[in-house]
Amino acid sequence: MLKETLQRLTAISAPSGREKPVQQAILQELEGVIDGHRLDPVGNLVVWKEGKGTHPKKILLDGHSDEIGLVITRIDEKGFLRVDPVGGVNPLTLLGTMVRFGDYPGVVAFEGETSEELSKNFKHPSYDILFVDIGATSKEDAENKVQVGQFGTYVSSFWEMGPMWVSKSQDDRVACAIIIEVFRGLKACENTVYGVFSVQEEVGLVGSSVAAFDIHPDIAIAIDVTANSDTPKTFKRMDLQLGKGPTIKIKDRASISDAKIVDLLESTAKQNQIPFQFEVLLFGGTNAAGYQVTGPGIPSGTLSIPCRYVHSPHEMVHQSDVENAIRLLSKVVARSDW
């Protein structure tokens, strides 16, 4: 079930600002296991299950529904497309990659009038020197198929490679799948659990800055991918291994997790013999930063899934990390002793 859900969600093209299709799919997956749902003004999908306890705490779990992508800024005289990134898309990962705008796939290529210029463009890639070829025969042909202002994403598939799952948008559909599984497993829960499938995280943590304002949760836990340090000569200053458990984030560029959340995640993991790691990420940020400063403040933190090749068309996670994250969060939401 988990794998199928993840496969379905990662296949959908839904970059920041265009999350509706994946939110619809998420709602379908949640049918029968939630008490209600709504869309807030900026488009966050908020779902909930009421707690059965006498003094239920409100726990918010966040997975962002948007993925990174591209937007068409210009269609040139011959029908080639110029694009800008939606979120952090390194132009290097685009070279030779297939992307998709609506029903139309396109290949990304770099400019280079001479070998020297091409070489320079490889060394210092930017959106100024790349374009997308959708096989249009003319400008008019292209304009009949796509339009300026249209959003698109990578083209990719879902692969199972040993214990690994590989596809585009594990960031952050893996979190959406995790939250769906937690809701599926919620029996008579003491606490009220909110699932926020937030929008526009990749362009600047927009959705999470406002989603909790009217919810007033007691705590908020963002679930997102993090980097890895277990492939050849990768970041020597970090320690993040696939298959060693989900990671309890201490710090990234956007926030320092609340001690309360770190302690809660750690103690729950230990009590239930769930493997975990501590995480210090040297770059990047998650939605926890948005929740932390909502209104009068919400104790917030992040539980991360180690991931290789983040923001590429082929993001890789370890199956057991995802399963352990589900186990851990299911136990966390069931606790009221904090």
**CA atoms of 325 and 329, how far apart (whole Å):** 6
- Report the residue from 195, 299, 306, 313 that binds other proteins according to the rule CB under 8 A: 299
> Could you give the C-alpha distances from 228 to 167, 195, 235, in angstroms and in order?
16, 26, 8
Q: Give me the least distance between CB of 287 and other proteins, in Å please.
A: 12
Site string for other proteins, 57-96 (x = CB under 8 A): --------------x-xx-x-----x-xxx----------
- Asked whether the beta carbons of 224 and 175 are under 8 A apart, the reply is yes
User: What distance in Å separates the CA atoms of residue 103 and residue 315, rounded to the nearest whole number?
Assistant: 23
Name the minimum Å distance from CB 73 to other proteins. Answer: 5
> What number of chain residues touch other proteins (CB under 8 A)?
59
Single residue of 107, 238, 267, 323 touching other proteins by CB under 8 A: 238
Under rule CB under 8 A, residue 109 binds other proteins: no
C-alpha to C-alpha distance for 192 and 311, rounded to whole angstroms: 33
Stretch that binds other proteins, among 138-146, 175-183, 186-194, 201-209 (CB under 8 A): 201-209
Among residues 166 and 206, whose Cβ is nearest to other proteins? 206
Shortest distance in whole angstroms from residue 184 CB to other proteins: 27
Is residue 250 at the binding interface for other proteins, with CB under 8 A as the rule? yes
Strand order in the sheet with 36-39: 36-39, 45-49, 192-198, 58-64, 219-226, 300-306, 247-251, 277-280
Judged by CB under 8 A, the chain residues 110 through 129 that form the site for other proteins are 128
- Annotated catalytic residue: which of 67, 181, 201, 315? 201
**Is 190 marked active-site?**
no
Closest CA to 239 of 208, 198, 280, 283: 280
Which positions from 3 through 42 interact with other proteins, judged by CB under 8 A? 16-18, 40-42
Under the binding rule (CB under 8 A), the answer on residue 241 touching other proteins is no
Nearer to other proteins, 184 or 251 (CB): 251
> Is 283 exposed, middle or buried, given 0-12, 13-18 or 19+ CB atoms closer than 10 A?
exposed
Least separation in angstroms between residue 147's CB and other proteins is 8
Q: Which residues are catalytic, by number?
A: 201
Residues that bind other proteins (CB under 8 A): 16-18, 40-44, 71, 73-74, 76, 82, 84-86, 128, 148-149, 151, 200, 203-207, 209-211, 213-214, 229, 236-239, 248, 250-251, 255-259, 262, 266, 277-280, 282, 290, 292-293, 295-299
